[in-house]
Amino acid sequence: MAILEGRNLRKTYRLSKKNTVEALKGVEISIDAGEMVAIMGPSGSGKSTLMHLLGLLHTPDPNHGPAPELYLAGQNVASLSDNDRTKIRARRMGFVFQDFNLVPTLTALENVLLACDYAGVKGKAARDSALEALGLVGLADRAGHKPSELSGGEQQRVAIARALVNKPEIILADEPTGNLDSDRSAEVLALLRQFNREHGQTIVLVTHDSEVGDACDRVIKMRDGRIRDNGLRAATPVMATEPVAVPA
Amino acid sequence: MRLLRDLGRRKLRSTLTISGIAIGIMALVVFGSMANKVNALIGGGSKYYADKDVVSVGSMYSGNIQPLSLADVDKVAHVDGVAAATPSVEMILDDTSATTMGTPEMISGYVPGGDKGLESFKMDIAQGRKLAPGDKGHITVLGSTLARKLSAEVGGTVTLRKVDFKVIGILAPTLTAPDQEAMVPLDAAQELFVASLPPLIQSKIDATDIATSITVYPAKGVSPETIKTRLEAMLGSSYTVMDGKDFDEMLGSISVIFSLVLTGVAGLSLLVGGLSTINTMAMAVAERTREIGIKRAIGASRWRIRREVVIESAAIGLIAGLIGLAIGAVMTTMFNDLGRASGNVLFDLTLGTAITALAFATGLGAIAGFVPAWGASRLDPVTALRYE
């Protein structure tokens, strides 16, 4: 069953009065629940824009032609208000970014708690799930550290804990390994794969790295604002035969 | 405290902004305390004069006092509607220190019981006793401020205009004129008054027949205004008859001026502090654009972002308010201690003034925060995330 389904998705950015960029020129996409999908393509191909639409950070353009459609688990979310989109982001989605994007003044635990807070989880329940999420990414003992006291790999694992803490249906990751060396990249990928396998979370990640693409169930290839290749979809997501090691 | 950590991210800027507001609040506290004092003083007088008329010739504050005769008192007492008329002799305690702010120190001589129980302005006695009907001679009841200045004690002696008086009582603070008064029996005041006149005049005056003013108590149901009209008709234009309304007209303008100064100070600190806070918070928001982008992306509503900025801005105001209040409190206490020796206690920092100052500072911060908060909440999360 498709958890994310989009049709006629267009996005034009206006850089100045005369200069506009057609980032997406009409995209049709379908992502199944429990899939781990990579979106790949050269710079400017529209992959980040597509992810921003799927993550409800932006809304698709109201086209002159056929109206855009975007369904999240069957609900049309193409023209929701900012407030409603924010609520969905807080409760049903998790985000991981290339630059880790932790709040620098907050400790690892507080960064994770922020996501609980926005999802409406407070107090001890929030603390417990935040500590659990940090435990899952192997950083229980670093909970009190500020981002500046953590390595890049550790920061990205805190960001993953933050994305996971509310057990969202979908995790969207924009170049999650872009700033990491290959060992740390492998760790992060393994973690994402683990949550995908164990909790059935749908993972959509944007990447340049074909190794990352290879590790996913499916690779969607983009070029010039369109999808060139929807990739081979596995009938059912492949289940791991061996448990994936969690980096300590 | 995440909030303090955020403020601590830009120590210099936060400190400067806080100092700016703190100075405004300090001025507000100091002027407010002064206004309290003046308003209490005027309010007390207003209450005292509300239900009576005071007859005099000339004005005692201009120093141009012409004594009345006790015969005038009898004439006044027989006017229709007058329940009681009692003479008093009032003079400045020390001619050389007459230039004080607030009320001058006075000697007030009156006939104990002369009001026939009609005086509604009650003064409580702190130590000793009040003057009682029949009291005569060199005894005095001192107002609280004057007693402190003279280091007087009940049973001790004070020198008033070179004459020794036995202190029989000390009043509780009234926050108005009597705090600065020495109350003595009429005969003693008459004696001091005559002694203060030039020798040539002294010989022509019968000390036992003089008064500087007559306090007139209207009968029940008769208004002081009615009595005033009747007295003026009888006494002629060389006499001054003052009722509560006249007092309010005379001194009410002082209250107005103080209120204006206070409003001016408040307005200035509002402007300077407010603009400075807007600037600080706008910079803080600009620096944290990326952070706001992260928060919006992971699910912070616009309202949450606005609230965060406004609370931080209000905290700047509150901290500044606390500092300003503390400095203001130290200053007013210090000035009062310095002024006490000369009887110039000019400030009264009340709880109300303190709370108003704090609320004002916090409100100012919060309101100033709205502008940058609004900008922060309108940031596009994706653009904000890419912001370097």
**Integer Cα distance of A102 and A157 in angstroms:** 11
Helix axes A152-164, A123-136, angle to 10 degrees: 130
Residues in chain A: 248
pLDDT above 90 (res A40): yes
CA-based nearest residue in chain A for residue B8: A105
> Which domains does chain A possess?
2-229 (3.40.50.300)
Does B382 lie at the interface with A, CB-CB under 8 angstroms?
Answer: yes
Best mutation target, B9, B298, B303, B306, to test chain A (most A CBs within 10 A): B298
Q: What is the mean pLDDT of residues B191-208?
A: 84
Of B5, B302, B385, the CB nearest to A82: B302
Contact B182, B146 (CB under 8 A): yes
pLDDT winner (highest mean) among A125-129, A175-179, B270-274:
A125-129
Closest CA to B16 of B364, B280, B373, B274: B280
Which region, left, alpha or beta, applies to residue A26 given φ > 0 means left and ψ of -120 to 50 means alpha?
A: left
Task: Show the DSSP H helices in A30-122 as ranges.
Answer: 47-54, 82-92, 108-118
Q: Which residues contact B63 (CB under 8 A, 6 or more apart)?
A: none
**Integer Cα distance of A14 and A61 in angstroms:** 12
Of A87, A97, A105, the CB nearest to B5: A105
pTM above 0.80, yes or no: no
pLDDT at B60: 46
A91 CB neighbours in chain B (<8 A) are 299
DSSP state of B151: T
A57 CB neighbours in chain B (<8 A) are 297, 381-382
Contact A112, A161 (CB under 8 A): yes
Cα dihedral B182, B188, B189, B191 sign: negative
Residue where the block lists tokens 């164990």: A198
Q: How far is B19 from chain A (nearest CA, A)?
A: 24
- In chain A, the percentage of residues whose pLDDT exceeds 70 is 94
B385 CB neighbours in chain A (<8 A) are 97, 101
pLDDT at A240: 46
Closest CA to A118 of A85, A164, A87, A84: A87
Q: How far is B378 from chain A (nearest CA, A)?
A: 10
Mapped onto helix, strand or coil, the DSSP state of residue A9 is strand
Residues B8-20 pLDDT 10s: 777 888 888 888 8
Closest CA to B167 of B144, B190, B186, B134: B144
CA-based nearest residue in chain B for residue A165: B298
CA-based nearest residue in chain A for residue B299: A90
SS3 content of chain A, % helix, strand, coil (to 5): 35, 25, 40
CA-based nearest residue in chain B for residue A117: B300
Q: What is the mean pLDDT of residues B269-286?
A: 83
Residue where the block lists tokens 């049903």: A92
Q: What is the mean pLDDT of residues A237-246?
A: 50
DSSP state of B60: T
Task: Show the DSSP H helices in A93-150 as ranges.
Answer: 108-118, 123-136
pLDDT band at B57 (very low <50, low <70, confident <90, very high): confident
**Integer Cα distance of B48 and B170 in angstroms:** 19
Contact B128, B168 (CB under 8 A): yes
pLDDT at A99: 86
Q: How many CB pairs under 8 A join A and B?
A: 61
pLDDT above 90 (res B362): yes
Of A82, A95, A110, the CB nearest to B297: A95
**Integer Cα distance of B35 and B321 in angstroms:** 19
Residues in chain B: 388
> Mean pLDDT lowest for which of A127-136, B125-134, B331-340?
B331-340
A83 CB neighbours in chain B (<8 A) are 301-302
Closest CA to B368 of B315, B314, B321, B289: B314
**Integer Cα distance of B164 and A101 in angstroms:** 84
Q: What is the mean pLDDT of residues A128-143?
A: 93
Interchain pair B302, A86: CB under 8 A: yes
Mapped onto helix, strand or coil, the DSSP state of residue B340 is helix
pLDDT above 60 (res B204): yes
Does B296 lie at the interface with A, CB-CB under 8 angstroms?
Answer: yes
Q: How far is A245 from chain B (nearest CA, A)?
A: 28
Residue where the block lists tokens 């300003």: B324
User: What would the two tokens of residue B105 be?
Assistant: 């120190």
Of A97, A114, A118, the CB nearest to B385: A97
Mapped onto helix, strand or coil, the DSSP state of residue B255 is helix
Interchain pair B291, A104: CB under 8 A: yes
State how far Cα B375 lies from the chain centre.
44
Mean pLDDT of chain B: 86
Question: 10 Å Cβ neighbour count for B163?
Answer: 13
> Whole-angstrom distance between the N-terminal and C-terminal Cα of chain B?
27
Mean pLDDT of chain A: 88
Closest CA to B41 of B102, B91, B93: B102
Q: Which residues contact B114 (CB under 8 A, 6 or more apart)?
A: B84, B86, B87, B215
A87 CB neighbours in chain B (<8 A) are 299, 301
Q: What is the mean pLDDT of residues B14-42?
A: 86
Interchain pair B382, A162: CB under 8 A: no
pLDDT at B278: 85
Residue where the block lists tokens 């500020």: A146
